[in-house]
Amino acid sequence: MIKVGLYGYGNIAKGVECAVKQNKDMEVTCVFTRRNPETVQTISGAKVYKTDDVLNHKDDVDVLVMCGGSATDLPEQTPAMAEHFNVVDSFDTHKRIPEHFANVDAAAKKSGKIGIISVGWDPGMFSLNRLYGSCILPDGADYTFWGKGVSQGHSDAIRRIEGVVDARQYTIPVEEALEAVRSGSEPQLTTRQKHTRECFVVAEEGADLERIKNEIVTMKNYFDEYDTTVNFISQEELDRDHKGIPHGGFVIRTGKTGKDLENNHVIEYSLKLDSNPEFTSSVIVAFVRAAYRLNKEGQSGCKTVFDIPPAYLSIKSGEELRKEML
């Protein structure tokens, strides 16, 4: 059994707990939290400890899943824990990945452990599809579309506006843009042409709805470059119709081959997810297995999804995979 520890206990950690139950070669052995452990009840019944105690539990953990946020938690915590544990995180600030990689790599090489960073679906499975697509069709272009799905960051941004009680924001890919990409014409698409944004907003009684709407659609970096629709609804409607955290998207690579590049090809990878965090957690758990195996083989240092032979993700043996799946 692969002993899995969780560092942090939010949505991702809970998703990992559920996903581990679906994989019979692993178990969650302990959870580390900054909160008072006695106030935390785990889904799996795993024991809860203070994060300060984590080094006392080195023998209880084969792989520690880092479940904090990318903004401030993971840049500190993943390198710190890689000095003692095999770690997997879902660091998703694309621009800071090179820096994060270097920090985790230094720590993991020192400890002889494995750190796999930026695991999930984007970065993660979408990245893999961008990579495979570009290697197979070098003369081409790739496009990533997100949605339809809830953007937590955009929902939070709306909630910070005066007079807003609650909000939910959906990112929606533009169907015409998807079709233009699938045609193989390699269109140049602006931000506005690729996605629209749809907001469901609960306002305080008597609030100036026109002002709220205007503040949303003109908000810099979040909404100003998009066509945005704002719908005011009641808290009851929001709770009833917009409770889930669905997401998904598309990675499409088009490219040409042949003597005169006369043949077109379209590779399309898409996800439709009822629960964004649970899917991310499910990807993480597959890479937990890879981290464990790589380290058992004596490897160390930082890895990404690009560095992992796919067979390392599977509970099945090489023989079984070749027989059943190739």
Query: Which residues here bind its own copies, judged by CB under 8 A?
Result: 15, 18-19, 22-23, 43, 94, 97-98, 101, 118, 123, 125, 127-132, 134-139, 182, 257-259, 262-275, 278-279, 281-283, 286, 289, 304-311, 313-315, 318-319, 321-323, 325-326
AA letter at 172: I
Kindly tell me which of 36 and 135 has the beta carbon lying closer to its own copies.
135
Looking at the Cβ atoms of 126 and 223, the one nearer to its own copies is 126
Nearest approach in angstroms of CB 273 to its own copies is 5
The minimum distance between CB 31 and its own copies, in angstroms, equals: 16
Q: Do the Cβ atoms of 315 and 56 come closer than 8 Å?
A: no
Question: Smallest distance, Å, CB 114 to its own copies?
Answer: 13
C-beta closer to its own copies: residue 140 or 212: 140
CB nearer to its own copies: give 18 or 217. Answer: 18
The DSSP bridge pattern shows strands 140-146 and 63-66 to be unpaired
What is the closest distance, in whole angstroms, from the C-beta atom of residue 261 to its own copies in the complex?
8
**Shortest distance (Å) from residue 24 CB to its own copies:** 9
Which C-beta is closer to its own copies: that of 138 or that of 153? 138
- The CB-of-60 to its own copies minimum distance in angstroms stands at 23
Q: Tokens representing 123?
A: 């970065």
Residue 98 or 298 having the CB closest to its own copies: 98
Select 3 or 182, whichever has its Cβ closest to its own copies.
Answer: 182
Q: How far apart are CA 256 and CA 186, in angstroms?
A: 11
Query: Angle at Cα 247 formed by Cα 246 and Cα 250, nearest 5°?
Result: 150
Minimum distance from CB of 86 to its own copies (Å)? Answer: 18
How far out from the chain centre does Cα 180 lie? 27
